[in-house]
Structure 1
Amino acid sequence: MNIKKLFALFVFVTSLGISTYGNDLTADRVGWWNFNDTTNLAKPVIGYGLPLELVGTHQAVEGPTSGDFASKIGVGSHYKMKHQIAPNGGGTKVNEFTLQIDFKVEALDIWHCFFQTTIQNNNDGDCFINPNGNIGVAATGYSTYAVKLNEWYRLVLSVKNGTQYKYYIDGGLLNNGTVQGIDGRFSLDSLLLMFADEDGEDNPIIVSEIAIWDRALTAQEISNLGGFGHKPPTVPGTKLVLVPYLQTPTTNSIYVCWHDTLSTPTSVEYGTSASLGQTASGTSEVISGSYIWHTVKLTGLQSNTEYFYKAISGSGSSKIYNFKTLPDSISKNKIRFLLLSDTHNSDTSKPVKVIKEAKKKMEELYGVDLHNHINAIIHSGDLVVSGSNIVEYTDVFFAPLSFLSTSIPVMTVAGNHENENAFYYKYMKYDDVQPYSTAGERFWSFRIQNTLFIGLNSNASSFFTLQKTWLDQALAQAEADSTIDFVFVMSHHFSITELWGEGMTYEAFKVQHVTNDIYPILKKYSKVVQHSYGHTHGYERGTWETAALNPRGDFRIVCGGGSGGAIDRWGSYLNNDFSNIHVAIDNFSYQIIEIDPLTKTYESKMYSLGNTSKARDNEVMDTWYRKANQPAPEAP
């Protein structure tokens, strides 16, 4: 380490009146350049990466402290950084990294560019100081805070595409930027162009230090890096702009939704190849403040067909994604869906881990083109920690799930944490699958081939009577329909639980609704094979005895609430022992269910990631199945 850099870790620069460098976090930097060798400005700090390659000209100038140096680089000149980071973050490019730039500018009212991700430098740069002094780019959003002339700043970008794109200045959060897609514009190839722009918006900038890591540093680590004493204001939550969310699939339609900070236009280009060729328009609505939700319903689609699409709105267009329409009712293709619940957690690393591991396992089982093999994701509620906090819908639900929800449609029911808030019902588009408009999309049903899926609301007591009436009618119709073999029912609340005994008395009317109103109806019909729910943060499976006149067997009761919320560990709460519950596991987990219409069977598997006491690697810890036509055993 250069001696004057080390000394600067501990000093206050009296001429500037600010503290400069904090803890150095040098150990795992993969690249570091401090421009202190005036005979070779592009030279790295010894042991930290390769030399920068200069394109054009630069000059040595004074750095932040006496005896410190920096590089001044201007229009038409830039550095090529060969960072040597291997592809990561679930893609073929670098999707997780942290970039630090110590800089100052001598003029405003002009553009300055920090970096360009396109190796050819043939399009717009990817991070700027705009003429007003704000840092960012349209796709991620700009900071409200503006830099000043001739003052030193430490800019740090902590990037984990699909999860976060955060800007920091002098150790403080500058902008919770729009989350970007994996392998998209803001992923890195083998080269990163520093201070490059294709059309002259790379005006002179002075840089005293550049560093890069192969991971996303945490807020605390970035705070420890310190800076030059500037304090940015508190910033709002993430805007997941132009990252689609698919919902309400049918054989010939699907809803494509996404955020933008602008309300117009709203359209989707789509087709059966990457050339697209068709366009559908939609509408936008303000969910709250600058959270604007765009919706396009694609109609007239062919069943069981792969489509390509991209979303278009005021901030531009998304990358091209894929989805597949549902097969028709006579198809014999296998049906597969991922079952999640209670993914809400202020520490989003937990649900992200569950969702990433589910994605990895499904790719291992079925191939990387998951949209061709997984029909839906079904979520049993508690998407967010607080249903009235608009920021959480993006930070806690849409962003973690975006690893899958751009290509696989999602269906949800409301949990108690959504608290019947209008935000939830604005985001979800269930008009086409709700039985009554007066119910406000609180319960729904949709069909995939020989299987009927029913979503119930266990929160809103004012709708319980109407819901009971409809449920009885829907199940009677399914019982009489020879083309339906199985019915899966989803709600958030349970009837009984072993892991979280207090949950049976917390808002007890919701639990009693399931026990006293819903289960007597489910018991009447032989095609009901499973009630899936959450609320308890763990995994439980058991059986409820049927009362059907022509019973094929009892129906399963399955809690899948271990998908990201803090686990309800054995001994942490009141524990019960019910004869109806046969398995109870305090692990993070998810379920994959496969239905075979040809043989009229289904099989479910619970995959565990363990808990804080013992980690597990996608371990199958429970399996159950059903055969609709299985003959009864012979009498003894």
Structure 2
Amino acid sequence: MKLRHKLLFLTHFIVLLGTAQKTKPEIIIKPYLQDATPSSIIVKWETSTGEESVVEYGLTAKLGKKTKGISYDINFSESRIHEVKLTDLKRFTPYYYRVITGNVKSEVYQFKTPPFASDNKSFNIVAMSDMQYDSSEPEKFSEVVNQGVLEYIKKEYNGTLPNNLAMVMIPGDLVVTGSKYYQWKEHFFNPAEKLFAEVPLYPVPGNHERNSIFYFKYFSLPENGTAAYAEHWWYKDYGNTRILGLDSNDGYRNLNEQLEWLQKVLDETAKNDDIDFVFAQMHHPHKSELWIPGEEDFSGKVVAKLEKFSTKTGKPSIHFFGHTHGYSRGQSKEHKHLWVNVASAGGAIDNWGEFEGRDYDEFTVTQDEYGFVMIEVDGSEDDPKFTLKRISRGNTIKPRNNEQTDSITVWKKDRRPAAPKALTAQANTDGYKNIVLKAGAFSSSFDNAFHAASHWQVSESPNFEKLAYDSWKQFENWYYKENRQKDDDLTDEKIKRLNPNATYYWRVRYRDQNLNWSNWSNVEKFKTEK
């Protein structure tokens, strides 16, 4: 071959090689898991190019099975999202898998399928939110996931990650601006890739997602909501627990269709003996001690439906939320229903005093700290319960290394304390203006139960039709970094501003730390001076 022809051949070869290198797919977003059932799961990932979507999987690391799926564009550059649904899986079983696009293969990961409710299995859930990027703490979400969630699970439980964590719930604000493509990869998926590759994640949109097309392309959520609003609201069952995803954002929170769907699902859940607990998630709070402007009336309507459901059915419920960047845990007065803010997993903390706040009766604990929430669900047939724990990473003033800063356990079955005894009503030196009610000690036949709340009522009517005084106090009330209930044993109550020369009736009931109310005490009466 002449020299000139050799040079032309070599040049052509180099050009072809360069073109091949450019078109060779690269995994941009590593595999992550969606919409798991006892017999199926969805695997998704993103590549720079390439149409092929293949998952190899099996009961051992040798894999052995293969399933093809689909790919579609992300509406940005040449990148492709891949989606493969694995079916005919065994329930509550660990699997190994890896993804393939062209000649590019991922490493081998694991997942575990959910159980049937009838299997009565116990499991764990992580809930966290508001991990949007903060330039002053750019690695915070990575820290919360890798030094927080993953290290906590490794230390507290035996075995692999999929064996110890069923799902990740995320009530919104995954990124700063949902319409900016790069943020999904760099700020959300990459920092949490070790978690999301082995545990299914179930988000709902926050206001920062901006109803972006990227959100709905990246996630394949259950398609059991209202058809016209696919993936805006949905539910997912895992064992004895039903997870509800709701959209509290502008444009969707005012739709009657969403609340009608919610009521229909709750009505069906009431008849479903397999479901013991309902956990709902939405982005906006009904009440927020750290940031009142973030509250939304829609969330209050959801809370009211969940409260009514729990009292009617005896099935405890929780509503998880975010939006306010700090942790809060409260409980409804008349219902076995928890209020839990699971932020912040990355967004700048809403520090005490920075915004308008309020000390609400419902909330027991509010902390301006980073962290996540662990929910341990006991699926036992005879006596199911769940335990919720706040695992804190602290803040810039006081860092914490996975410290448990709050916990509560709720049983499905009632474990009522004994009704307290109303003892005395004594006037202070200023007569009718100050009356001190005194009741007997807390008593319960259940191990480790303690006095967690008291509810006092005073009325001029013996049947308490119209109340002159109504007070509900918790054994602790952490607000603005102090416990406002410190040293209150909850067995006495000071009443002010009663009418002179009037006869009043009073009663009290006690609650334990597991949300069980006693019956009302005996009714006693007293008369104020002229």
* TM-score of the alignment, normalized to the shorter chain, above 0.5: yes
Contact kept in structure 1, 2:25 and 2:49, CA below 8 Å:
no
| Letter in structure 1 aligned against 2:258 | Q
Distance 1:631 1:571 in 2: 39
Distance 2:20 2:58 in 1: 39
Q: How does 1:485-496 map to 2 (within 5 A)?
A: 485-496=276-287
SS at the partner of 1:525?
helix
Q: What corresponds to 1:567 in structure 2?
A: 349
Distance 1:361 1:139, change over 3 A: farther
Query: How far 1:624 sits from its partner (Å)?
Result: 0.8
2:58 to 244, 261, 271: 271
Task: Verify: 1:625 aligned to 2:417, yes or no.
Answer: no
Query: How far 1:332 sits from its partner (Å)?
Result: 1.9
Q: What corresponds to 2:128 in structure 1?
A: 340
Distance 1:413 1:591 in 2: 16
Query: How far 1:110 sits from its partner (Å)?
Result: 11
Q: How does 1:467-478 map to 2 (within 5 A)?
A: 467-478=258-269
SS at the partner of 1:494?
coil
C-alpha distance after superposition, 1:240-299 (max 9, x if no partner):
3xx101011111111100001123111111111111111111101111223311000111
Distance 1:246 1:576, change over 3 A: same
SS at the partner of 1:248?
strand
Q: What corresponds to 1:284 in structure 2?
A: 71
Distance 1:319 1:381 in 2: 29
SS at the partner of 1:401?
helix
Distance 2:91 2:19 in 1: 51
Task: Verify: 1:297 aligned to 2:88, yes or no.
Answer: no
Q: What corresponds to 1:519 in structure 2?
A: 303
Contact kept in structure 1, 2:127 and 2:170, CA below 8 Å:
yes
Q: What corresponds to 2:118 in structure 1?
A: 330
C-alpha distance after superposition, 1:290-341 (max 9, x if no partner):
3311000111111011111110113511111110000111112212111110
Q: What corresponds to 1:254 in structure 2?
A: 41
Distance 2:236 2:168 in 1: 13
Distance 1:589 1:502 in 2: 22
1:456 to 246, 263, 281: 246
| Letter in structure 1 aligned against 2:342 | G
Distance 1:111 1:361, change over 3 A: farther
Provide the aligned C-alpha RMSD in A: 2.4
C-alpha distance after superposition, 1:194-240 (max 9, x if no partner):
xxxxxxxxxxxxxxxxxxxxxxxxxxxxxxxxxxxxxxxxxxxxx33
Distance 1:297 1:615, change over 3 A: same
Contact kept in structure 2, 1:488 and 1:532, CA below 8 Å:
yes
Contact kept in structure 1, 2:51 and 2:80, CA below 8 Å:
no
2:143 to 347, 350, 353: 353
Q: What corresponds to 2:494 in structure 1?
A: none
Task: Verify: 1:530 aligned to 2:312, yes or no.
Answer: no
Contact kept in structure 1, 2:125 and 2:375, CA below 8 Å:
yes
SS at the partner of 2:142?
helix
TM normalised by structure 1 equals: 0.60
Distance 1:462 1:571, change over 3 A: closer
Query: How far 1:502 sits from its partner (Å)?
Result: 2.9
Query: How far 1:501 sits from its partner (Å)?
Result: 2.6
Task: Verify: 1:503 aligned to 2:294, yes or no.
Answer: yes
List alignment gaps of at least 5 residues for structure 1: 1-107, 113-128, 141-177, 179-238, 505-510, 547-552
Query: How far 1:635 sits from its partner (Å)?
Result: 2.7
Q: How does 1:349-498 map to 2 (within 5 A)?
A: 349-356=139-146, 357-430=148-221, 432-462=222-252, 464-498=255-289
Query: How far 1:478 sits from its partner (Å)?
Result: 1.2
Q: What corresponds to 1:69 in structure 2?
A: none
C-alpha distance after superposition, 1:21-64 (max 9, x if no partner):
xxxxxxxxxxxxxxxxxxxxxxxxxxxxxxxxxxxxxxxxxxxx
Distance 2:196 2:16 in 1: 33
Contact kept in structure 2, 1:260 and 1:315, CA below 8 Å:
no
Q: What corresponds to 1:589 in structure 2?
A: 371
C-alpha distance after superposition, 1:106-125 (max 9, x if no partner):
xx97999xxxxxxxxxxxxx
Distance 1:133 1:446 in 2: 45
Distance 1:564 1:586 in 2: 12
| Letter in structure 2 aligned against 1:397 | F
Contact kept in structure 1, 2:128 and 2:169, CA below 8 Å:
yes
Contact kept in structure 2, 1:345 and 1:384, CA below 8 Å:
yes
Q: What corresponds to 2:444 in structure 1?
A: none
Distance 2:174 2:416 in 1: 41
1:320 to 72, 96, 108: 108
| Letter in structure 2 aligned against 1:277 | G
Query: How far 1:578 sits from its partner (Å)?
Result: 1.1
- Count of aligned residue pairs for this structure pair: 400
Query: How far 1:544 sits from its partner (Å)?
Result: 2.3
C-alpha distance after superposition, 1:500-548 (max 9, x if no partner):
23323xxxxxx11112x312211211124210000001101111244xx
SS at the partner of 1:345?
coil
| Letter in structure 2 aligned against 1:606 | R
Q: What corresponds to 1:165 in structure 2?
A: none
SS at the partner of 1:354?
helix
Contact kept in structure 1, 2:316 and 2:410, CA below 8 Å:
no
Query: How far 1:631 sits from its partner (Å)?
Result: 2.4
Distance 1:354 1:465 in 2: 37
Distance 1:480 1:542 in 2: 27
TM normalised by structure 2 equals: 0.72
Distance 1:133 1:444 in 2: 44
C-alpha distance after superposition, 1:429-455 (max 9, x if no partner):
12x442332112101101111111101
Distance 1:512 1:307 in 2: 43
List alignment gaps of at least 5 residues for structure 2: 1-9, 421-530
Distance 2:331 2:336 in 1: 6
Distance 2:47 2:102 in 1: 7
Q: What corresponds to 1:7 in structure 2?
A: none
Q: What corresponds to 1:8 in structure 2?
A: none
Distance 1:487 1:131 in 2: 56
| Letter in structure 1 aligned against 2:319 | H
Distance 1:418 1:354 in 2: 20
Distance 1:133 1:461 in 2: 46
SS at the partner of 2:71?
strand
Contact kept in structure 2, 1:261 and 1:315, CA below 8 Å:
no
Query: How far 1:561 sits from its partner (Å)?
Result: 1.4
Q: 1 or 2, which has the higher helix percentage? A: 2
Distance 2:63 2:17 in 1: 37
Distance 1:529 1:601 in 2: 11
